[in-house]
Chain A
Amino acid sequence: MISTTIARKVAMALSGLFLILFLGQHFTINITSVFSEKTFNFLSHFMGNNPVVQFVLQPILIFGVLFHFLMGFVLEYKNNRSRTTKYASFKGSANSSWLSRNMILSGIVVLSFLGLHFYDFWVPEMNYKYIEFLPKDPNRYYGELVHKFHSPVRVTIYSLSFVFLALHLYHGFASSFQSVGLNNKYTRGIKWFTVAFALLIPAGFIFIAIFHHLNG
């Protein structure tokens, strides 16, 4: 099914769009922590304990992440192999943005952050819920969140990762519309929207981190 270049490209775009959707949802929950501890706790508890979220959406998400980055590597590898003798002089800056040519780089940074995030959040969470079977505590989430942003090192790494995510999205979000074949009179509007999204959402995440760091 995903044996041709265009199919791979579309798959890459669709998985990317799915992850962007998730990112939006994630942000929506996280930002509540700035306004209301109660709402944040409520939503987090719901996400952490609802069986549909846990056993249907979560595996899809994990698959989406894995698929997107594995496909990213496959594409990078194949694309690299289509020109084995490199140019002595290649002036990519003359015709394309650095971002668009280095999606693999920004992608790897985001991926390593995901690794960290996994280790930091998902592993303890799984441990809490499914291994040690600790009692359900619908009010623990806000405290944990604030605690996480104590360390300035972590906040720095966290912020930096979101800068790279912004770079990744800056090209990737708009690009995925082109990949699935949308390029028409709305393209300018789409471009505006995607760029705004790419800048605002990561900035929002960084804001949350710094906010809790300063207020925590």
Chain B
Amino acid sequence: MNLTLKIWRQANVDAKGEMVTYSVAGVSPDMSFLEMMDMHNEQLIENGEDPVAFDHDCREGICGMCSMFINGEAHGPDRLVTTCQLHMRKFKDGDTITIEPFRANAFPVIKDLTVDRSAFDRIQQAGGFVSVNTSGNTQDANAIPIDKHDADKAFDAASCIGCGACVASCKNASAMLFVSAKVSQYALLPQGKVEATDRVLNMVNQMDEEGFGNCTNTGACEVECPKGISLENIARMNREYLAATLKG
């Protein structure tokens, strides 16, 4: 396949960026999107040009590092995949593909398609944990049975990979799906319930401080989420937050 790529190039956080057009030939439909980008970079290096910087690591859809906004959608047109799992068979010969970084003011561009998502880390540091020390003798793991339905829901929420596709897809650059996934996971488990009040207040405050927008329930995040995290989590977080606020 031969393709035209329109890629956002930006030298560093302070530089002004622009879309640059490239053409790439000989793409195989079996390639993953990132392998296509690798190939393109090899060509750029060969021509003495600066390769396109993009984040990637595990290339199996679990580390959450890859983060491209492809043809107007986070992680491209396929569903329930990260960029690294997107394959070129989803495109046609002669296509023009627009590739941009995940955009949000809370995700400043480091270079080209690489953005700084440490805001997510800071939100987690504000309360995304259970305050238990690693003594190893807390209590037996089976001491508290957990309703399977709750455990399954907690698991579904916990499967968030922190890629930021929710923020990137949201017209408001809201991080509610991400934050609510963590809040939900712990709210659903007896181990996490103990400090639920402080957790939700602290995490939401940090989320606001980072400059993410507000949720307007468009549902884009749920659709674009590579792990299919449900909007139900946002409702649960709203509930938790209201309860926490009323509790004071």
Give the B-binding residues of A (Cβ under 8 A): 4-10, 75, 78-92, 94-97, 100-101, 103, 171, 175, 178-184
Contacts and interface: CB of A to CB of B under 8 A. Distances in A.
Interface of B: 6, 8, 17, 19, 69, 71-73, 77, 98, 100, 103-106, 169, 171-174, 176, 204-205, 207-208, 211-220, 223-224, 231-232, 234-242, 245
18 contacts: A4-B208, A4-B241, A5-B213, A79-B173, A81-B213, A82-B106, A82-B172, A83-B105, A85-B103, A86-B103, A88-B98, A94-B77, A96-B220, A179-B217, A180-B242, A181-B238, A181-B239, A182-B239
A89 B216 CA distance: 21
Interface centre among B104, B176, B238, B242 (most CB of A within 10 A): B238
Interface centre among A81, A84, A87, A175 (most CB of B within 10 A): A87
Contacts of B205: 4
Given A9-B238, A82-B213, A95-B220, 5 more contacts: A83-B173, A87-B69, A92-B220, A94-B223, A95-B169
Contact of A6 (B104, B172, B216, B241): B241
Contacts, number: 136
B103 A83 contact: yes
A178 B100 CA distance: 31
Nearest to A98: B218
A100 B235 CA distance: 17
A123 to B, nearest CB: 33
A183 B233 CA distance: 9
Given A5-B215, A79-B216, A94 B72 contact: yes
Contact of B238 (A6, A80, A92): A6
Nearest to B210: A82
A79 B242 contact: no
Nearest to B223: A95
A95 B224 contact: yes
